[in-house]
Amino acid sequence: MSNHLQSNSSTTEQQVSLPVRIRLSHAYFQHLADLNGIDILHIKGYAFEKEAYRPGRTSTDVDVLVRPAHVERFIYILNQAGWQTLAHFETGSIFEHAQTLYHPSWGLTDIHRYFPGLGYENPTRAFDQLWERRRVKEIAHYPCMVPSLIDMQLIVVLHGARASAKVKPDITFLDSSLEASDWDNLRTRAEELDSLLAFDTALGNIEAHKDSRHYLLWKSVSEDSTPAIQWTARLRRAKTLGDKWRVIKSIVAVNEDHLAMTLGRKPTRQELREKFFERFTAIRRKR
């Protein structure tokens, strides 16, 4: 096996059960990170099972949070090892937080450069704070780096803030398993990690943060909202004129990554033109 753990065997993702392959993928990423001096934390999915998630919860991909200074190098190494980028940071989500990659043997992964809601103004500081309390957890019998238990629980809550559904099973499970004092400790940790807005959003208390420039964005993702509202929210969150101009350009442009994933191939110019006008037609219908 090479230093990059490139898969040259005939074993494909169809021949290995999904839960086994996902767990092996966690080990794969940790080994790759260790070989190249890259700091990663395994988040969500099987990295959190039996500790922060309800029994029987399954996962379909691997999520890793990478030290911001190491992200570019880690993605380069993955690309060299045969991973294909499906969605870039700028096109992956409204938060521009993760890049989605695919490998024919390993499957899908989201490489996070930060976690939405965690350390708004300084993702590097937030990672440092998580890293200070990191633990080792064996996944597929391989020592992987994961957040502390309280940080796991906090990430579960923050992730729930991005769901518009009224029922949030992961938060419901935490609510049934934690004491009031545990929630007090979680709130204290959220404050330490500059995460109170997302924390309160997840628990239905977003209105306490109406004066924040992040307020409308989190309100828009925690409720059913139109694209126009989310575009407005992104503009309000942007700090500089340069940031606002970049948001405007992303609004006008068609998300080619998402369209390619929908089509299963690179879109044609005609399909891009059609998608461009289709979006604005849909917006007018929703008004």
221 Cβ contact partners less than 8 Å away, ≥ 6 residues apart: 94, 161, 162, 164, 230
How do residues 198-222 score in pLDDT, each as one tens digit? 999 999 999 999 999 999 999 999 9
Give me the percent of the chain exceeding a pLDDT of 90.
Answer: 66
Question: pTM (2 decimals)?
Answer: 0.83
Judged against a pLDDT cut of 90, whether residue 173 lies above it is answered with: yes
Write the DSSP string, 46-72: GGSTTTTS-TT---SSEEEEE-GGGHH
Judged against a pLDDT cut of 80, whether residue 226 lies above it is answered with: yes
Q: What is the pLDDT of residue 46?
A: 97
Judged against a pLDDT cut of 90, whether residue 272 lies above it is answered with: no
Q: Which of 132-136, 161-165, 256-260 has the lowest mean pLDDT?
A: 256-260
pLDDT band for position 26 (50/70/90)?
very high
Q: Which of 45-59, 117-131, 265-279 has the lowest mean pLDDT?
A: 265-279
Residue 259 · residue 272 · CB < 8 Å: yes
Mean pLDDT of 75-100: 92
Judged against a pLDDT cut of 70, whether residue 139 lies above it is answered with: yes
85 Cβ contact partners less than 8 Å away, ≥ 6 residues apart: 75, 79, 99, 100, 101
How do residues 237-262 score in pLDDT, each as one tens digit? 878 887 777 766 666 665 565 656 66
| Separation of alpha carbons 281 and 283, rounded Å | 5
